[in-house]
Structure 1
Amino acid sequence: TYTPTLASPTLGGRTTASTFVLEQPRCVFGEEHSDAVIWLVVAVPEGRWGTARPPGGASPWGPPSSPVPIPAAVPKFNNSVGPGTPERTFQNFPATAPAYLTLNTTLLGYPCPKPPGDITVLRVGAETSCAGDKSRPTCNGPLPGPGPYRVKFLALRDTEPVGETAWSEPITLQTAWPLGSISTTGSGRSAGMIALTSILSILFAMLLASLVALLFFGGSDTHIGSSTFSKPEPVAVRRYNTHHVYDQPAARL
């Protein structure tokens, strides 16, 4: 039985704070499923306490609200509960819907064998525009927390399950830390010292740039002045007496 897996570790962003990337189930479903719709099921693997999704599908990363019990979906998952029902609606996940169905396609969406150059991955949680839109209960919206989650592919003919894969291993997302929770004292520096260091660095850079500009333009002015107003070299004028022939006494014979 095929088990869904995350994409290759070499793929950037394989898991983020609200998404993860799966390999497509190529060559898993056969011709007997050609008239079925293949869905991705995203589920809570085990019962636990959580917080309800804020009204309107807003981000759940705000202040904690009243805790609610989240039932386990995987051990007693009912394949006959169709997509879009209250128990399988993304907008109710995971507070009152322990699982939801999304990314529906047909067998043509997963051709076998894979044509060259085909993209063979699915990013779960990539749609933000429909996260709070209850008219789109199968939205592939951002996941509401780090998880863990488990997924499987389910083939439905109308509402009748006709094929499925095994459940994946638990998938845990990255944790988004609030900005205020990041410690700045680990290196022995306070936030004030870091800010002061940054300001001094900027001022030093400005001072250095001013000095460079002063040296450059000052040197240029000196060069121009010396070439324009330099004292001319003295020119030696040779002095000589003129001799006129008519002033000389007549030569005696």
Structure 2
Amino acid sequence: TLPPTQNIAFGFLRAGWTNTYQKWPQIANPKLATNNPTLTTIALEKPFCVFDDSLSPGSSYVVYLYAMADSASTVSSAVTDNSSKPLNTTFQDTNGGQLGPYRAALFNVPNCVSPPLLADVVNVKKVSDVLKQYLFRVGDDVTCLYDPNFPGACNPPLAEDTTYRFKYLLVDLVAGVVKDQTLWSDPMKTRRVKQTSTIDTWPGRRSGGMIVITSILSTLIFLLVVGFLASIFFFVMASGETSTETTHASQTTQQAVPRSQDSSEGVNQ
């Protein structure tokens, strides 16, 4: 019997936190993984209580995760050979899943008897570990493709705006054969980059084109204002120079008049 807190967690898990009781991979519940899918990743729920061997303590089983582009399902979706051994196809071998399924990851069988505690999800120090136990993010490794000595399965970023399917396999490491497997998942599509014309901007939800036009008009208005101020400045300067010349001419005339009168008086005398 599970402790009360684990019973609550597991009951909530069954009630809606995860749907992996169905025999195919499920996309992560939004309560556990926000912003999912992204441009290059898709978070899946691990197969809790899907495989009976998960109840066997110390078993030699592990879970293999295979991924493929949805368009490749019409070519081949086989993940085992004729002797029930799992295929070792890689991301490079299948052109990123476009030519068939590739092995994206392997991990331990989730513990169905003792799942993570629900109370730990709200604990900042433990939430990361809890999510790692519940979820697996496909496309989360950005370095494995460029490391020739990378061990294990390579899980590189997925292609944007592309539909994928996923499958879990229960593999016996000792015998090297597949013990059980799920069905292929429903199609799951990565997001695509938004075009500039569709980006909402603040304020007024202006498009990229409107922003460019607004910038150009603002520049033109600025230049007009600068030109207007410059014309006023030159007008004032020109007016000042004209006023000075007029005043000087007036004073010269006033000084010349008395001299003419003095000359007239001298003649009369």
Specify the alignment match of 2:76 in structure 1. Answer: 73
Question: What is the rounded CA distance, in whole Å, between the counterparts of 1:199 and 1:12 in structure 2?
Answer: 42
Amino acid across the alignment from 1:196: I
Question: What is the rounded CA distance, in whole Å, between the counterparts of 1:45 and 1:141 in structure 2?
Answer: 17
Whether contact under 8 Å (1:44, 1:73) holds in the other structure is no
Whether contact under 8 Å (1:27, 1:113) holds in the other structure is no
Q: Report the CA distance between 1:103 and its aligned residue.
A: 2.4
After superposition, the Cα gap between the structure-2 partners of 1:126 and 1:47, relative to the gap in structure 1 and judged at 3 Å, is closer
Whether contact under 8 Å (1:40, 1:152) holds in the other structure is yes
SS at match of 1:90: coil
Amino acid across the alignment from 1:161: V
2:187 to 143, 152, 170: 170
After superposition, the Cα gap between the structure-2 partners of 1:171 and 1:195, relative to the gap in structure 1 and judged at 3 Å, is same
1:127 to 138, 141, 145: 141
Question: What is the rounded CA distance, in whole Å, between the counterparts of 1:97 and 1:188 in structure 2?
Answer: 38
Specify the alignment match of 2:215 in structure 1. Answer: 195
User: Quick check: 29-38 or 155-164, which moved more?
Assistant: 29-38
Specify the alignment match of 2:90 in structure 1. Answer: 89
Which TM-score applies when normalising by structure 1? 0.56
Specify the alignment match of 1:16 in structure 2. Answer: 38
Whether contact under 8 Å (1:42, 1:101) holds in the other structure is yes
Specify the alignment match of 2:263 in structure 1. Answer: none
SS at match of 1:91: coil
- Output one character per residue of 1:179-204: Cα deviation in whole Å (capped at 9) or x when no partner: 6x7689x8595453233367799x9x
Whether contact under 8 Å (2:171, 2:178) holds in the other structure is yes
In angstroms, what is the RMSD of aligned CA positions?
A: 3.5
2:61 to 36, 42, 53: 36
After superposition, the Cα gap between the structure-2 partners of 1:133 and 1:145, relative to the gap in structure 1 and judged at 3 Å, is farther
User: Quick check: 140-149 or 13-22, which moved more?
Assistant: 140-149
Specify the alignment match of 2:108 in structure 1. Answer: 106
Provide the aligned length of Structure 1 versus Structure 2: 173
Specify the alignment match of 2:235 in structure 1. Answer: none
Specify the alignment match of 2:166 in structure 1. Answer: 151
Amino acid across the alignment from 1:5: Q
Question: What is the rounded CA distance, in whole Å, between the counterparts of 1:46 and 1:188 in structure 2?
Answer: 34
Question: What is the rounded CA distance, in whole Å, between the counterparts of 2:159 and 2:85 in structure 1?
Answer: 22
Whether contact under 8 Å (2:199, 2:208) holds in the other structure is no
Specify the alignment match of 1:26 in structure 2. Answer: 48
Whether contact under 8 Å (1:102, 1:138) holds in the other structure is yes
After superposition, the Cα gap between the structure-2 partners of 1:187 and 1:20, relative to the gap in structure 1 and judged at 3 Å, is closer
- Looking at secondary structure, tell me which structure has more helix per residue: 2
Question: What is the rounded CA distance, in whole Å, between the counterparts of 1:196 and 1:166 in structure 2?
Answer: 57
Specify the alignment match of 2:116 in structure 1. Answer: 115
Amino acid across the alignment from 2:212: G
Identity %: 24
Whether contact under 8 Å (1:45, 1:73) holds in the other structure is no
Specify the alignment match of 1:221 in structure 2. Answer: none
Amino acid across the alignment from 1:131: L
Structure 2 gaps of 5+ residues are 1-21, 121-129, 201-205, 223-269
Which TM-score applies when normalising by structure 2? 0.53
Q: Report the CA distance between 1:45 and its aligned residue.
A: 3.1
